[in-house]
Structure 1
Amino acid sequence: MEALQKFARTETSCRLCWVLTILLLSLYLGSSEGEEGLVDLPTPEPDLTIDECHDEFTIACANASQIFSDSYDLCELNANETIVNLDVDVELERLQIELGSSAVCGNMQICDTLDDDLEYFKCINENGTRNLDILTEINYNATHAHTRLREDYDAVHRTFLLCSLDAQKNYMDNLRKAHKELTKCRSEIDELSE
């Protein structure tokens, strides 16, 4: 009998807990619908404010600009280093051409020192033939070097353009992403403030 009384008290307390829980729940739900006379529970505050949204946007834009600047500088650096290497490769060819042109001039000057006309024309004839061979070689080397170097410079320029184009695309993607995050942040704040 005593056990039945204990059970009845426990059952009554549980019912009372359930009634209080339901009452509190209805008060809470009623206050969120704006019923008068009920206690308003505070609405959750957003994680960020509008100013903080814009601060994050500004930081994201600054980061995007820095990344673009660094990427563009790297494109330029690579292009400049490649051009320096190309210039080093042509130094030997330039030296050979300069030596050949000096030899041509030297051959002609040797003849200028001769007073005898017969010896002078003979010298010009012999050195002219030699100079023609040297000039043909100079022309061939210069044309070959110019053609190859023009192709190399075009390739460097093309690589630089593609590199800088990738940097620009990444920059625009980062700006678009930052703007999307700003719009999302502002929307979330607007929804919470309504």
Structure 2
Amino acid sequence: MESLRKVARTETSSRLRWVLNIFVISLYWGYSEGFIGGFDWPTPEPDLGIDECHDEFTIACANASMVYSDSYDLCELNANETIIHLEVDVELERLQIELASGAVCGNMRICDTLVDDLEYFKCINENGTRNLDILTEISYNASRSYTRLHEDYDAVQRTFLLCSLDAQKNYMEDLREAHRELTQCRSEIDELSE
């Protein structure tokens, strides 16, 4: 009987050593799935998971940069188109001023053709009064156009700055969200590997 117990203990300890050896060897070699006594060992792959986290982060950053670039380009395009419309609007005003100033010069040249001094001074007097009215109108129109155009350019500049600031804010928020997702992804990988 005693010898049966010794044999049983020897077999049990041999089996236990065999199971422990298999367990240690599977841990040592890092098998992705070891089967010991019906138990599947999970294999965390932190390097691959972390690479995927960083790949997603890189893609998110690239997308954020593209969106920012497109948004900034749109701000610039809108500003440029608005300036073109402003310049088209003032072309007529500019043409009117150029025609009026040409009329002033023409009025003075008409007098230059007169030989008689009395007729010359009379022409200058009459045309000078007419030219004074034209020059007053030119001055008024030019001041008004300058003031309005200056305000319009300032408004375009303000709109462009606000638009580009919104684009920058959205870009920074997108980058912050990408970083938050990277941190969360890495934390989840770390938890799985523990």
Give the TM-score of the pair, scaled to structure 2.
0.77
Give the partner amino acid of 1:42: W
Distance 1:74 1:116 in 2: 66
Distance 1:143 1:180 in 2: 55
Task: For 1:88-99, list aligned pairs within 5 A.
Answer: 88-99=88-99
1:136 alignment partner in structure 2: 136
1:153 alignment partner in structure 2: 153
1:179 aligns with 2:179: yes
Deviates further, 142-151 or 46-55: 46-55
1:4 alignment partner in structure 2: none
**Closer, same or farther: CA 164–64 of 1 in aligned 2, 3 Å:** same
Query: Residue by residue, what CA displacement relative to the aligned partner does 1:31-63 show, whole Å, maximum 9, x if unpaired?
Result: 9xxxxxx75632264696111111110100000
1:43 alignment partner in structure 2: 42
For the residue of structure 1 that corresponds to 2:119, the secondary structure is helix
For the residue of structure 1 that corresponds to 2:40, the secondary structure is coil
Q: How many positions carry a matched residue from both structures? A: 159
Distance 1:79 1:181 in 2: 35
Distance 1:192 1:156 in 2: 54
Structure 1 residue 193 displacement after superposition: 1.5
Distance 2:79 2:41 in 1: 61
Distance 2:135 2:184 in 1: 72
Task: For 1:114-125, list aligned pairs within 5 A.
Answer: 114-125=114-125
Give the partner amino acid of 1:73: D
Identity %: 78
1:53 aligns with 2:53: yes
1:103 alignment partner in structure 2: 103
Runs of 4+ in structure 1 off by over 6 angstroms are none
Give the TM-score of the pair, scaled to structure 1.
0.77
Distance 1:44 1:185 in 2: 18
Across the aligned residues of Structure 1 and Structure 2, the Cα RMSD in angstroms comes to 2.0
Structure 2 runs not aligned, ≥5 long: 1-22, 24-35
